[in-house]
Amino acid sequence: MPPVSFKAIIASIAVVSLTACQSVPQSTSAITVSAYAPETPQLSCAPHGNPNGSPAKLTANRTRIGDPAYIEFRQRFSPGIPSGHLYVVFGRLDAKGNPVTRLYTGLFPKGSLAGLYAGALVPMPADLVPSYADCHLTPNAAYRVSLTESQYQQLLGKVQEDLANPPMWRMFGYNCNNYAASLGSVAGLVEPANRAQPSFSYIYAYIDANGDGGQKAAS
């Protein structure tokens, strides 16, 4: 076997060291992206030109530092119905309790205004994916509650089940308010005593029913 020169040994060590240095950042980057990838991309606002969604000024906030995820209830103006619309935003939190992903879902009848008012008489097929208004209109109120990993997995399971088999929408009985509250049940949240009130008052009653009406919110 021919002798190996000192220069060849040094060159080999340099190559190994360089490879090792390059591999660490690549691996870390992959983990970071994977950890914050949206679990249900069909609920992203990307189709409406707002892939990261929008933050909201919080009316009430029950976030525990260290919880990895959250659910947020938002109420907005709706051009089709005076009561407005209640929908849910959910996703992952960073170490400081700030959202890093936003996925949107809410129960709204198919058929636009015709479906909306037909739902006063008969149950109507519904959509759960976000609308342009969900992704762009400023909410009138927002209520955030952080979730444990177990609670978040329950939420994801329920959302995916509902996407596969969407609930029927009824103006009186099971509307956007009641659907949002059904998702909140994974965190032990309960509906207000009056389940039939309009969205613009329902969200405040929902906050009060869960003991967060008197707290100061931080966005």
The partner residues of 79 in beta bridges, in order of sequence, read none
CA torsion through residues 130, 87, 41, 183, sign: negative
Same domain, 74 and 5: no
Per residue in 144-171, pLDDT (tens digit) is 999 999 999 999 999 999 999 999 999 9
Name the residue range of residue 59's domain. 41-209
Q: Are residues 11 and 61 in the same domain?
A: no
Q: Would the pTM count as exceeding 0.95? A: no
**Same domain for 94 and 202:** yes
> In this structure, is residue 1 part of a structural domain?
yes
Q: Kindly state whether residues 67 and 174 are assigned to the same domain.
A: yes
In a domain, 219, yes or no: no
Q: Are residues 61 and 150 in the same domain?
A: yes
Q: Does 91 map to a domain?
A: yes
**Helix extents (H) in the chain:** 6-35, 112-118, 132-136, 149-164, 176-184, 199-209
What are 58-100's pLDDT values in tens digits? 999 999 999 999 999 999 998 878 899 999 999 999 999 999 9
Domain shared by 101 and 128, yes or no: yes
Instruction: Give the closest residue to 73 by CA, choosing from 162, 173, 190, 206.
Output: 206
- Structurally, how many domains does the chain consist of? 2
Same domain, 31 and 109: no
Residues 71 and 116 in one domain: yes
Within-domain flag for 45: yes
